[in-house]
Amino acid sequence: MGTLYDQSLREIIKLSSSKSPTPGGGSISAIAAVLGLAMTAMVCNLTIGKDKYKDVESLVTGYLATAEGLTEKLMELTENDIKIFNKLMSAYRRPRVAEEEKEARENAVQEALKGATEIPMEMARVCLQALQVTCRLSGIGNKAAISDAGVAAVMIEAALNGALLNVDINTPIIKDRNYTDRILAEKENMLKEAGKLKSQALAVVRERIGG
């Protein structure tokens, strides 16, 4: 059986808009980030091999390799997001008549909730790395395609925000407060850093478009 990425875009849209709970917000956020990274990679590919950008070719080649690696991570996380949601639903469906069953069910739910929090957190971490690369690329990539670096920055930052909404919906029902405090602190830091990187990239893109 293939992955979500083996389906056509039309099929993904149809599935996402159906009653099926997956793919949900986490997976769609990851797909948005993958599309954003595709724009980053495209700017890289339109820069590499151009005489005008020979001085930055080695840097841009490195950015391309990074973008491709981050894309692979996001594609894997998309599938993991679907799997962990199914695991969480299975945990909620466990019997809870006897006290032992109630305890086993609660433990399973709490474990799955942490998994359903870790995956979007990892998506956001990958998105942050993607924004860092895109921000650096925006100043040296092929000027003729530099608006696409801006598109990449906007889409990846939006994807990061979307992924972290899945953290927000899970943390209130996770009982391990030490865990949630740590996660929420990291989440806030990522949101701030992502916003700065997007703004920096767009400022450079707009300056180069107008220059």
pLDDT of residue 97: 87
Kindly give the confidence (pLDDT) of every residue in the chain, 211 residues in length, as a single tens digit, with 9 standing for 90 and above: 578 999 999 999 999 999 998 899 999 999 999 999 999 999 999 999 999 999 999 999 999 999 999 999 999 999 999 999 999 999 999 988 899 999 999 999 999 999 999 999 999 999 999 999 999 999 999 999 999 999 999 999 999 999 999 999 999 999 999 999 999 999 999 999 999 999 999 999 999 999 7
Contacts for 193 with CB less than 8 Å, ≥ 6 apart: 128
Q: What is the pTM of this model?
A: 0.94
Domain boundaries, the chain: 23-210
DSSP state, residue 144:
G
- Could you give the C-alpha distances from 47 to 16, 60, 134, 139, 147, in angstroms and in order? 35, 7, 13, 12, 13
**Closest C-alpha to 150, from 106, 188, 203:** 203
State the fold for domain 23-210: Four Helix Bundle (Hemerythrin (Met), subunit A) (1.20.120)
Q: What's the helix, strand, coil split of the chain in %, to 5? A: 85, 0, 15
